[in-house]
Amino acid sequence: MTNANGTATGMPAAGAPAAGSPADEAAHESAAGAPASESTRLALSVIMPVGKRHATDIAALYAEYKAGLASLDVQYEFIVVLDGPKPEIAPSLQRLLEKGENLVVISLTKRFGEATALMAGFQRASGRVIVTAPAYHQIQGVEIGKLVRALDKADLAIGRRWPRVGSRFEVMRRNVFHRFIATVTGQRFNDLGCGARAMKRRVLEEISLYGDQHRFLPVLANRQGFRVSEVDVGQSPLDRYDGGYPTREYAHRVLDIFTVFFLVRFTKKPLRFFGMLGASTFVIGALLVAWLAIDRLVFMHPLADRPALLLSSLLVVLGMQLFALGLLGELIIFTHARDIKDYQIDEVIRYPEAAVPDNNAARVRVEKDDATHSHAI
């Protein structure tokens, strides 16, 4: 377990060296946050962030995931990140540690959000492949291997619970949410709410998550140039949520969608957003000012008791400020453009050396031919 300051402790992985050896010290440094070299990385790291919603029997959920990981026949580590104190499940985790399970438990000092808990686990993970597992029953544990094997053709594999069971209201809510995402971002997904995902390490190395952006990781990864694949996985028979969501939760999701929309569409083109908005506001205000001026000069209508003049002036000033804000954003992007990487290289094809003509050798052969020809003459 961890203490209040978030220090992680846990049992060593299977086949790990004895405590006190140099390799054990290196593993301890890696678990504390120091980067591990590629030669010392494990094949797989599983991160399970435990937030407000979690399974009642966390040990049974861990056993289900463990059975699914056994089918992969690779060495792995299992990291549980508690998003704030969780006294209701701490005893179960402690019993698992006492049994010698390959488990590391990280406890955050307070609730920071699932995305932050996920990144805290990633900083201490040493696997070349990262698997995120939900803290409650969403998919069948045996399906984890299907996600990992999908990385042969993708950088990020996300689970889609299919066939999906749920009430009509849930089906309608999911359809509205995903259609809204497709309209705003131009990317079509079917189950962004599924927390079961497998990804190559470099995905989380290049994408920083905060707040509630863990739901939109596939959207952000696709924007970054990573190959994203949606894999059908079996839904857990225990995947049921009878409670409702408050109105505030829906408002937060809408704001998150617009945040992702701006990050996906205008991160490197802020002037297109602020410039378009500012120009539209400026034109509306300028037209109102022109109409009021004509109304006053031609038709002699007084403007002292009309708020339209103040409104049109405010629109003109607001439009200019929005446009200037877009220009300022462009200047910031320009000064940092060299450090921004929003692409991924799929493969590099080189011509074999034998296929490249040697210009020097060709020149020598020409000179020898000329010399032979001159000597014959």
How much is the pLDDT for 4?
Answer: 40
Among 240-249, 317-326, 349-358, the range scoring the smallest mean pLDDT is 349-358
Task: Kindly state the average pLDDT of the residues 101-116.
Answer: 94
Residue range 138-161: mean pLDDT, rounded: 96
pLDDT band for 64, please (50, 70, 90 cuts). very high
State the average pLDDT over residues 31-47: 68
C-alpha span between 208 and 200 (Å, rounded): 14
The CB density around residue 300, as the number of other CB atoms within 10 Å, is 7
Question: Does the structure show a pLDDT above 60 at 86?
Answer: yes
Which residue matches tokens 């549980």?
Answer: 80
Predicted local confidence at residue 355, as pLDDT: 55
Please report the pLDDT score of residue 3 as a whole number: 47
Percent of the chain residues topping a pLDDT of 70 = 82
Q: Tokens representing 365? A: 């052969």
Total residue length of the chain: 377
pLDDT at 25: 37
Phi, psi of 103 (to 5 degrees): -140, 140
List of residues 6+ apart from 221 with CB closer than 8 A: 155, 156, 199, 203, 207, 228
Q: What is the pLDDT of residue 40?
A: 62
The token pair at 309 is 């003049």
pLDDT band at 34 (very low <50, low <70, confident <90, very high): very low
Instruction: Provide the sign of the torsion angle of the four alpha carbons 205, 58, 219, 256, taken in this order.
Output: negative
Average pLDDT across the chain, whole number: 84
pLDDT: is 229 or 40 the higher one? 229
How distant is the alpha carbon of residue 106 from its chain centre? 21
Return all residues near 306 (Cβ < 8 A) that are at least 6 apart. Answer: 292
